[in-house]
Structures are given as C-alpha cells and as structure tokens.
Amino acid sequence: MKFGRTALMRRSWLASLWLLASVAQAQDVADIPDAVRENVELLIQGGLDDTVGYAFVRDLTTEVGPRLAGSEAEERARSWSTQELAELGFQNIRVEPFPIPYWSRRVDRASIVSPAPQDMVITALGGSTSTPPGGVEAEVIRFENMNELRAASSDVVSNKIVFIDEKMTRTQDGSGYGMAVRKRRNCALTTSQKGGAACLIRSVGTQQRRFAHTGMMFRSAVVGDGPAAAVSPPDADQLTRLLEKGPVKVRLEVEVETQPEAPSGNVIAEVVGRERPEEIVLIGCHLDSWDLGTGAVDDGAGCGIVVGAAQLIMSLDEAPRRTVRVVLYGAEEVGLLGGYAYAERHADEMDNHILAAESDFGADKIWRFETRFGEGALPYARAIQRMLEPLGISPSHNLASGGPDISMLPRLGVPVVTPRQNGWDYFDLHHTPDDTFDKIDRDKLNQNIAAYAAFAYLAAEMDWDFRKLTP
Amino acid sequence: MKFGRTALMRRSWLASLWLLASVAQAQDVADIPDAVRENVELLIQGGLDDTVGYAFVRDLTTEVGPRLAGSEAEERARSWSTQELAELGFQNIRVEPFPIPYWSRRVDRASIVSPAPQDMVITALGGSTSTPPGGVEAEVIRFENMNELRAASSDVVSNKIVFIDEKMTRTQDGSGYGMAVRKRRNCALTTSQKGGAACLIRSVGTQQRRFAHTGMMFRSAVVGDGPAAAVSPPDADQLTRLLEKGPVKVRLEVEVETQPEAPSGNVIAEVVGRERPEEIVLIGCHLDSWDLGTGAVDDGAGCGIVVGAAQLIMSLDEAPRRTVRVVLYGAEEVGLLGGYAYAERHADEMDNHILAAESDFGADKIWRFETRFGEGALPYARAIQRMLEPLGISPSHNLASGGPDISMLPRLGVPVVTPRQNGWDYFDLHHTPDDTFDKIDRDKLNQNIAAYAAFAYLAAEMDWDFRKLTP
C-alpha cells in the first residue's frame, strides 16, 4: 500500500463492493462473443488438466533448487528457465539483467548459555550484519512487540540481546503479515540505536514447528544496522518461559557475505499478439527464492502458474489480439528489485501495459478476484469474474495491489488484478526450510492455472480498457 | 518382541481377545471393594484435573532442555528430577548410577554437489562414525529398502553413498516402526561390508516436513561401522527425483565425539506400601532424550505421566498396600541401557515386582489396555480395564511388551501392561528437532495420568497375583 494512493484508493472497500453489485446490471457493456467464451472454457478445462505448470515448478525446485537473489543459483535459474520456455515454444525470450547488492548467510546459530544450555533453531534475517568473530553473548531483554521496544529507554536495552516475541495472526487473505513483519523490518535498527547487542524476533510465520522464517530487514539488500535473526516459535516459547524464571543469557553467531554488486535479471517470454503486439497483458512471478527451502510455494508455484497459463493461451488456434507477456522477476525477496528494474526499463511502455498480475502467494486455490481498475472499467471486472465463477472465484474489492513486483505499476497508471489465493497455510511455509515441492497440490495449482489462462486471455483478446474512468 | 517368546506369546492375538471376552463371566474373582473403587474414581478425577504432571514435563524440557544420554545435560536432568521429586514429597529418592559408552554429534551436514548444488537437511544417526575431515563426496546409489541393499553386489555399492528410500507406514499402534527402523539399524554395517562410502536413509518417521529423525543404529552405544545419516522426507524426495534424471553426487560430513565411558543413571522415587513395602508396582519413563529437540513427547511426557500419577496416589488418605515405584530411566535412547542396568541391579527382587509399565509413546490418549499376565490373571486385566472404561480405554490382547526399558522384565517373570497411546502422530515428532513442549495437549496428558494412577493404585492395593497361571 506504499504506492498509488490515488483517488481510487480512497474509496472504501464497502463502496467498491456496492459498485461491483451495481455494475452487474451494466453487464451488456462487457459482452463476450461466443467464440471467445468457448476459448475461455477450453482454457479453463485445459488448466484443470494441465501438466506443464506443475512440471515447471517441480523441475525448477529440483534441478535448480534454492535460488538466492544475486547468487550463482539464481543465474542457473535464469538459464534453466529460458531453455524451458524455448522448449515450450514461447517467443521473444530474453533476460533483462540488472545489478543488485548481494547478501548471503555463511553461519547463523544461537544457543541459550544459561541457565539451561541448549541450541536454538534460528535463521539470520536478510541484511543482518555479522557478529564479531565468536559471536555475541549477552542477557536477553524481551518485548511484546516493536512499539514496546521503541518506547524502551537505551539504559535497559544497552548491551542486551533484544527479543521481540510478537505473534502473527493467521488469516485467509494474508492480512496478518503487514503487522507482523514490522518487527522484522525495524528491530535491528531500533536495537542498534539504543545500544543493544543484537536482535532476535519470533519468526514472522503462523506455524508452531521448529522452523525459523527468514526475510529482509529492509526494502533494499543493503546490509542493515546490526545482527538480527528470527527464532522458531517453539524456541520463542522456550525463551519466554525461561525469562519468567530469571535472567537468560544467549549467544548469537552470524557470519554473512556481502558484495556491493551481483548479477540478477528478469526472464521474459511472450505470446505475441496477432493484432496489437505492442499492447501487453503481463502475468508474472518471481524466480528468486530464499536460500533455506527450495522456493516451491514462494514462488516456484507462481512461475508454474503463469507459465502454465501462458502456454495454454499459446496452444489456442490463434494468438489473442494483444501480447501476453510472462515475466519471471529476479531479486524479489531482497526488495522487489526485479520489479523496480522492470518498471524503470519499460517506463515509456507503461501506457501499453493493458493489465498486470503477479502470482506470489503460494499454491492454494484462488477464492476471489481483486482488481484495481478505473471506475468505468468495473463491468469488465465483473465480466471476468463471472467467467471464473465455475472455479469457485467470487467478486471482490477494487483495491488490488497486483503482487509485489508490480506493486509500483498502478501509480504509473497500469491496471492490475490480484486473483487472491487462500493464504491460510502460506505463512506456515513462507521463508522456511520447509518450503519444498511436496507441499504443492496439483489440483489446487491447476485451478490457478485455469484462472490465469482465462483472465489473461480475456484481457488480451477483448477490446477492453481497464483504465476507463467514466462509468 | 526380542524377549520373552514364551508359551504366552505363542497364543494368537485373536485367541487372547476371545479369552478376554470369556473371562468377563469370571468377573467375581476380581471383585473390587467399594472403598477401593471410590479411591480409583478419586484418582481418575484427580488425573483429569492434574497440574503436576504437565508442569513436570514443561519444566524438565525448559529448565534442562535436551538430555543426551551420558551428557552433562542428562546429569542435570537427574539432579533436577531428584529435587522436584523431593519437593513433591516422594520417599526413597535415589539415583542408581551406571556407566555407558558416549556418542555425540559435533558436525553433521550434507549437500548435493551435482547436478544441482543445494544443502540437505540431515542428521547423523546415533553410533555413526566420523567421515574423514572435509567429508566424503561420492555418487549416490538408491535402494527401495534394506533387502534390496542386502541383495546388491559389492561391485555396484563400492565407493558409493548408499541411499535407502523406504517409507514408514502411519498407524495408530506404532506397528509401522519395527519395519521402518531396520534400515536405520543395519544400513551402515551392510554398506561398509560392501565397500560403500556412507549410508543415507530416508528418515524413520511419518511427517512430510523438513525434519530429519535421528536414532540409534544399534542396540548399544558402541560406535558403528561407518558414517550414517537420515535425510528429511522432502530431501529424500528431492534425491529420488534427481536420480531419475541422472547421476547425483553428494557430500556428507559427520564429526562425532565418543568416550568409552560416561555417567548415566536411573532416578527412583517411591510411595512406600503400607503393608507390603517390599512388593513393587513399577511405573517408568525415560529421562534421557535425543539432542535435537527437547525430548517432550519422547519422553518428557512419559515422566510427567508417571510422576503425576504416583503423586496422586501419594495424596490419598493412606498409601496402598504395596509400594508404587517411579523409575525415570537413563540412557534409553542409546540401547535401553537404563533398563538393562535396572534389571541387573534388581535381579533378585524380580519376584517382588508385581507389575511394571513404562510410558514412552508420546502424549496422546490411551485407547486400549494391553497386558502380559499369566492366563489365570486375565480376570484382573478385565477388572482394571473396566475401571478405565470411563476414560475411553478398551480391552486388548495379552502380548504387551510393557515399554522399552521394561521389555526385558517379562522373561524374568514380571507381568507388564502397556496402556497403549494413540501413536498416529507420534512419529511426526519422534527424534526430530520439533519434539518440543508446545506439542503436548494437557487434556490428553491428563487422561494418561488418570489411567496410570488408577491401574497402578489397583495393582498396589488389591491382593492380585498377575502371574497366576491357572485360570
């Protein structure tokens, strides 16, 4: 929500829903010819039966594995993807390279030193600095949340290891994340400002298993202001129980490698439009992943979904009028760097971006169709959603962000949609070692592929202007 | 089932059930006086409301944490327990020390070297040898199961890293474990006999998460015949997928510390019988744990159950006729060494062991009451089970093992019972880093405490002879 606080955004969610209901009567403006309807039905059936998308995420996570931004593995992922996309028959396959600052963990471990020596399950946060060799050993001071740390005086924080124990709320739409992630973003900075030795946070996640969730401290890959790590939920509980009994001393050791510049890149492939090839319907995902798991639900699944969907559109008798562009973004996890690179490089094409969507919320089913259209274009939102209804997808609000790597496009005038996946379990796996291929259910993935194929085709085939401002 | 293959054992399970049914008519031989019934009901209600057992496992896993056999932590667990038991008011509290060979991991890690470099989640198996410094790097050869490895010629195994991919079946009674554990016990030995470089097994467990399950290779803590480690299920899947595409090279690094002798011990506490203090009803658990988790379901829960139950019996107006002895065994995980030490030290008291049971199968509810009694004593089995029926506990067979640390007692003539817990989820956590306190449900734990208090009290109060051979 950082970008695009336009007049559209100020409209309340309820008002948007009301608008959606009212435009149901205006259905005729968004009439879809029978031939197009038949193609949509073909694409939906093809999506539900698809094997390409599932194979894409399976093979990406297996043959490449983890794909840390700026690493050799991310580079292998780009090579691997361009080859796969070529074999699938896509056009205009290319890599758009850009440099990023590089951060990688070498060592991250922690243990309780006293009163009850035991190892903890932790993971350094992206952007953490190294501790001095041998680590830092200090007494722990616990805070319920980030605000409590902010309110604390330097006297009580100085030379301590800060521990923020705030839990995350499980929701279907992922809305618990924004609140929970604040401690990850800001803990190291606030700690170092108050003279603390290091920061530990309860993992930003919803599971109660012995996994720690990594993630960036800041929206850039620049190394942060101190050592910072996330502890697994059971370890956070353990710390809290011990602290109830008396002082607890912890040792934290973090060693990181950083480079001012490393290569990343966006991989692009197209189904070129038969009438207006310069007009673009963009469907994206991100190719990089965190290093702990193999990046299956975050975001191999998204890549499987958009590649599977575009390949189905390609298999139709004729290409749609407009171009369907698949973008596999690089370096999303370290600050949406692929998204920014794309927006900058394609700045003067923005008027030709008819619609954009990024799939980056796991592999569970889509349950509602969020948009950010001009008000006059809301009948098109309703028309698309009606075609998706057989997939169990309901209408939603007009405040969509579109997805992280396209979150900067709405303020550049680009209409976006978020086909919202069920995120109930997403933060059980997100940024953990447990984000592996076996977590993906093919039937659910295929529901996504069907929906993406259907709406991307409609947007590329129909002569709709999603920016239309006057109803 | 290694011990006590007596005439009793040869009786089939079905025949035993039939016997249980037939003895229902012989109920009168096991009449329970009203005063005793009232005490049993008090104990059951007290168990369901108990706070002592839950606090015992919470504080043991928090204030001590992991308790590897022979380690300083296991010693702390003994000190901690004797102090807790004293505070609870138990009598005859003592430690019976015994020496054990010591094994501990220092380093255990593995990665896929080619074709797709990535770290794996593994854990060294107990008794693994160290690899040469820097680890072993070799091509992987996969086998479906232990028999396939046994049948393979040395030519194909030589200098390879063996990978046994056999899965474990999830069951309520834990019967999938015996089959699955064979590969853990024997892989290193068979691999080294065939000239292999190391052995990897798919973890002996039922979960599909990124946890590796440790465990002993042999029934003694002596260091084994080669480096051996378990890989997490998602990593086993990954290896299998990669092997379908071509050769896979893996690097395994294990560094262990061993000592020929380290201290362990059994912690004992009693509720001394008011009439026949020399006659013993033994309820046990094991105090040691693996090093990865904090030993909550394996077996802090068992200790909470038996301590909670015995303390309830202690709270009655008068002690039962016979002594209730609580034994917190040491060094179970490394070969039932506490169990053997106890059996040896108390060899000439075996006739006075009226009944024994060990709780070592997690913290879920008990669903049936297994016994190994003389045939003439089966009416007592039925009488006890009837008292437990309000807890949802049904009759079962007469082939109980009693639990690992007392599994050697039946062949010494000691009757045992296994109040069988629901083990459906047990092998999700067993021997993993995820075996932590938060996994324990207090209501389920309390059902166990109620059942243990009830049957231990009955056995200690009633004048029953569970060895009785003639019906």
pLDDT band, residue A21 (cuts 50/70/90): low
| Integer Cα distance of B309 and B460 in angstroms | 13
pLDDT band, residue A469 (cuts 50/70/90): confident
Q: Smallest Cβ distance to A118: which of B241, B294, B432?
A: B294
Say which amino acid occupies B191.
Answer: T
Class of domain A103-258: alpha beta
With CA atoms as reference, report the closest residue to A433 among B453, B109, B333, B383: B109
A29 pLDDT exceeds 80? Answer: no
pLDDT of res. A431? 97
Region for residue B362 given its phi and psi (left: phi exceeds 0; alpha: psi -120 to 50; beta: otherwise): left
pLDDT of res. B6? 39
| Integer Cα distance of B287 and B60 in angstroms | 9
Mean pLDDT, residues A28-47 taken together:
92
Q: Which residues in chain A touch residue B202, judged by CB atoms under 8 angstroms apart?
A: none
Query: Within its chain, how far is the Cα of A129 from the centroid?
Result: 24
Chain A residues whose C-beta sits inside 8 Å of any chain B C-beta: 58, 62-66, 73, 76, 112, 115-119, 121, 208-211, 233-234, 237-238, 241-242, 245, 293-294, 432-434, 436-439
B5 pLDDT exceeds 50? Answer: no
Instruction: Give residue-wise pLDDT tens across range A340-362.
Output: 999 999 999 999 999 999 999 99
Contact A63 B116 (CB under 8 A): yes
CATH architecture of the domain with range B7-101+261-461: 3-Layer(aba) Sandwich (3.40)
What integer best gives the mean pLDDT of chain B? 93
Region for residue B63 given its phi and psi (left: phi exceeds 0; alpha: psi -120 to 50; beta: otherwise): alpha
| Integer Cα distance of B77 and A117 in angstroms | 12
If one looks up domain B103-257 in CATH, what number appears? Answer: 3.50.30.30
pLDDT of res. A255? 97
Q: Smallest Cβ distance to B438: which of A76, A117, A208?
A: A208
pLDDT band, residue B223 (cuts 50/70/90): low
Q: Which residues contact B456 (CB under 8 A, 6 or more apart)?
A: B281, B283, B309, B310, B313, B324, B355, B357
Å between A339 CA and nearest CA of chain B: 26
| Integer Cα distance of B115 and B282 in angstroms | 56
Domain boundaries, chain A: 7-101+261-461, 103-258
Instruction: Give residue-wise pLDDT tens across range A175-217.
Output: 888 888 888 988 999 999 999 999 999 999 999 999 999 999 8
pLDDT of res. B21? 52
Instruction: Give residue-wise pLDDT tens across range B159-209.
Output: 999 999 999 999 999 888 888 888 898 899 999 999 999 999 999 999 999
What integer best gives the mean pLDDT of chain A? 93
Contact B65 A433 (CB under 8 A): no
- Cis before A115 (ω within 30): yes
Contact in structure between B320 and B276 (CB atoms under 8 Å): no
| Integer Cα distance of A100 and A338 in angstroms | 9
Hey, what are B452's tokens?
A: 């243990």
The torsion angles phi and psi of B148, rounded to 5 degrees, stand at -65, -40
Q: Please report the number of interchain residue pairs, chain A to chain B, with beta-carbon separation below 8 angstroms.
A: 85
Chain B residues whose C-beta sits inside 8 Å of any chain A C-beta: 58, 62-66, 73, 76, 112, 115-119, 121, 208-211, 233-234, 237-238, 241-242, 245, 293-294, 432-434, 436-439
B4 pLDDT exceeds 60? Answer: no
The torsion angles phi and psi of A79, rounded to 5 degrees, stand at -60, -45
Q: Work out the percent of chain B whose per-residue pLDDT is above 90.
A: 88
Contact B210 A115 (CB under 8 A): no
pLDDT band, residue B222 (cuts 50/70/90): low
Q: Which residues in chain B touch residue A437, judged by CB atoms under 8 angstroms apart?
A: 234, 237-238
With CA atoms as reference, report the closest residue to A89 among A242, A313, A302: A313
Mean pLDDT, residues A431-437 taken together:
98
What is the model's pTM? 0.92
Instruction: Give residue-wise pLDDT tens across range A126-154.
Output: 999 999 999 999 999 999 999 999 999 99
pLDDT of res. B17? 52
A4 pLDDT exceeds 50? Answer: no
pLDDT of res. B28? 56
A23 pLDDT exceeds 60? Answer: no
Hey, what are A312's tokens?
A: 């189905």
